[in-house]
Amino acid sequence: MEICQSEALRYLGYRANRQPDAQTLALLQETQVQLEAVLAPKSIYKEATLRRLSEDKTEIGGIVFQSRKLQTHLRDADRILLFAATLGAGADRLIRRFAAAGETAKAAAAQALGAAAIEGYCDELCAEIAEREEKNGYYLRPRFSPGYGDLPLEAQRDFFKLLDVTKRIGVALTDQCMMLPTKSVTAFIGLAETPSCATPRCETCPDSACAYRKGET
């Protein structure tokens, strides 16, 4: 698993009009080495049943999820995968250690590198799944996670039940439906018999003012 430093810099707020200096790049490199030493990535996925009930209700694995955005996202899919991945608890411990020691710059760098790492890890895994599925004539759609668009974050509770995320890869869910370890991802992935237009996730996201929007660097 490779960590894309340009993605980490984007999470840190660097854009075309604000380039990092040599000291920042050195700090990022040093922090990346420390982060990579503690990562313990794990992932799982499985196929679930998919049934459309209405314009904003989709039954997945026998559980109804209410979201017009999810329904639109899956409009041409006739199969669906439940997907989860994590970097493990080591990343969170390292960030806390930096913060407790007053190394705020390193803590921020580790946060950004962790965010880039989990996205990169998920992209790698999905590329592997896509390669296998294309041999069967199916094409992956982009990931769609609880908390995105009009699918409430509370949908995580049902998602965790369907995939047994905590037992299988050790990711817990707080009362506020936040994941621990924090560098974790859950997502629905549609499968269709036609190739995707491969539109980047940021271009389909409704939050056009997001500071981390890709394509705005």
Question: Residues 75-99: pLDDT tens digits?
Answer: 999 999 999 999 999 999 999 999 9
pLDDT value of residue 208: 45
Q: What is the largest CA-CA distance in the chain?
A: 55
Q: Tell whether the model's pLDDT for residue 68 goes beyond 90.
A: yes
Q: How far, in Å, CA of 156 to CA of 188, rounded?
A: 11
DSSP string, 2-20: ---HHHHHHHTT-BTTB--
Three-class secondary structure of residue 95 per DSSP? helix
Q: How far, in Å, CA of 210 to CA of 202, rounded?
A: 9
Task: Assign a CATH topology to domain 5-204.
Answer: NADH Oxidase (3.40.109)
Q: Tell whether the model's pLDDT for residue 15 goes beyond 60.
A: yes
The DSSP H or E segment spanning 46 is strand 42-48
Contact 20, 108 (CB under 8 A): no
Mean pLDDT over 147-172 rounds to 97
Among the listed residues 91, 52, 60, 23, the one whose alpha carbon sits nearest the alpha carbon of residue 186: 60
